[in-house]
Amino acid sequence: MSSARKEATPKPTGEPWKNPGRARVRGMLFLLAMAALGFCALLPLAMLALGSLMSASELASTLGGVIEGGSGFAEAPLLPLAPTPESYVAVLVDTPGYHVLFWNSAVITACVLAGQLAVATPAAWALARFGFRGRDALFFLYVLLMMLPFQATMLPNYLMLNALGINDTLAAVILPGAFSAFPVFIMRHFFATIPNSLIESARLDGASEFAIFLKIGVPLGAPGIFASLVLGFFEYWNLVEQPLAFLRDQTLWPLSLFQPAIASESIGLVFASTVIASIPAVLVFATGREYLEQGIAATTRKDR
């Protein structure tokens, strides 16, 4: 009887059982493809870091074909023949304007993120937890504003900032960023996942709406808040178009506009300044990678 049952039991007919070798080959090919993509992504960063350790003469001979006034063909900088920190010294010691632009970027980014934390967090909570007339239309307006490129909103923003009298100041870049619609979009997804039973229990216990938001919404929605702040840091640490449009005074420019102002004979400053400017972004990414992944995953889920 037992042998008959064994014979009657159907055997798996899936492809891995038929051809385990083919599944192993596919896995190896997938790993090789991912390794190739990773190599292509990391190669420019490695070239940038290695190029920052080259001397000015070595960079001129290596990249002569792409430098104004140079000649010959450009070669990919691999290993420096004589590593030297002279480019970093030139940036950090001999270029005081770099520190001014670095401070401008820090002020702009910190103020924008603080403004988004104060404005977008309660706005996202209201859109996620309060049922009022026109809520969906208002959220659609947020999404529409988020999708519009900067070129479409540049003129209205310029006219508004000019009417407020804050053009050519850091506030002209900070104020529009603080009222950005993107963090509202991210945070709303996290606030909407909070169980209604938890909110109703707090209300039955006599908690006010502000206390519910502060003691339940903010702690449970912290991953979405941090995800929006991490994404906001990457956006406003690398601003280019907004400062060019709203800031005429170059002493107010952020760090992202330092490289275009470098002369062609100081190509080493480009490599060193880029490496230094990327350090805060790398640290923020390493710290908030988990929140960033949660924020991206939240935007792909269907709304409640």
Tell me how far CA of residue 133 lies from CA of 61, 119, 128, 136, 157, in angstroms: 67, 21, 13, 8, 28
**Sign of torsion, CA 198 203 208 209?**
positive
Tell me how far CA of residue 205 lies from CA of 13, 212, 219, in angstroms: 57, 11, 19
Cα radius of gyration (the chain): 27
Contacts of 225 (CB under 8 A, 6+ apart): 117, 121, 187, 190, 218
Q: Distance of alpha carbon 95 from its chain centroid, rounded?
A: 28
Tell me the pTM.
0.78
Burial class (CB in 10 A: 0-12, 13-18, 19+), 104: buried
Contact between 242 and 105 under an 8 Å Cβ cutoff? The reply is no
pLDDT tens digit at each of 304 positions of the chain: 445 454 555 555 545 445 677 888 888 888 999 999 988 888 888 888 888 888 877 777 777 666 655 566 666 666 777 788 888 888 888 888 888 889 999 999 999 999 999 999 999 999 988 888 888 888 888 888 888 888 888 888 889 888 888 888 999 999 988 988 888 988 888 898 888 888 888 888 888 888 999 989 888 888 888 888 888 898 899 888 889 889 888 888 898 887 765 655 677 788 888 888 888 988 888 887 777 777 666 655 554 4
Regarding the domain delimited by 90-300, which CATH topology (the fold level of the hierarchy) does it fall under? MetI-like fold (1.10.3720)
Domain chopping of the chain, boundaries: 12-84, 90-300
